[in-house]
Amino acid sequence: MSHKIAVMYLGQIVEMGVTRQVASAPRHPYTRVLWSSLVRKQTVETTSQAAEGNWGVYDFERPLSGCRFASRCPVYLARGRPEACINPHSAPQLKAVAEGHLVRCHFPLRA
């Protein structure tokens, strides 16, 4: 239906690009989690999301500094909670990772 897509998390675009490229090789951790959960639903896997991680309710009255996805990000945890991800002065901005493919992440995933 559309040849371009934008993925949003808490009111911010976190990834944007050609649909085929974003779908086949998501570079933002949230897009990858989102996409994998859609694929799981389609394949009717039984693993519950709650068993895979802490997906608690976001506290809008006390928003996080820096990256809005940090409290749920598997890359943030795997990298030892880097300061850059939660520092309000270094909140990630949309950056090109390929032609026409933008990602808001300090550590974009490999294609």
> Which residue ranges make up the site for ligand SF4 (CB under 6 A)?
29, 67, 69-70, 73, 75-76, 85, 92, 105-107
Query: From the CB of 38, what's the least distance to ligand SF4, in Å?
Result: 19
Of 23 and 82, nearer to ligand SF4 (C-beta) is 82
Of 1 and 88, nearer to ligand SF4 (C-beta) is 88
All residues at 6 or more sequence positions from 82 whose CB lies less than 8 Å from its CB, including other chains: 76, 106, 107
Give me 46's structure tokens. 């039984």
Query: From the CB of 102, what's the least distance to ligand SF4, in Å?
Result: 13
Query: From the CB of 88, what's the least distance to ligand SF4, in Å?
Result: 13
> Which amino acid is located at 97 in the chain?
V
Strand partners, 46: none
Of 101 and 106, nearer to ligand SF4 (C-beta) is 106
User: Could you give the C-alpha distances from 7 to 62, 79, 85, in angstroms and in order?
Assistant: 23, 23, 19
Of 7 and 76, nearer to ligand SF4 (C-beta) is 76
Query: From the CB of 44, what's the least distance to ligand SF4, in Å?
Result: 28
Q: 76: left (phi > 0), else alpha (psi -120 to 50), else beta?
A: alpha
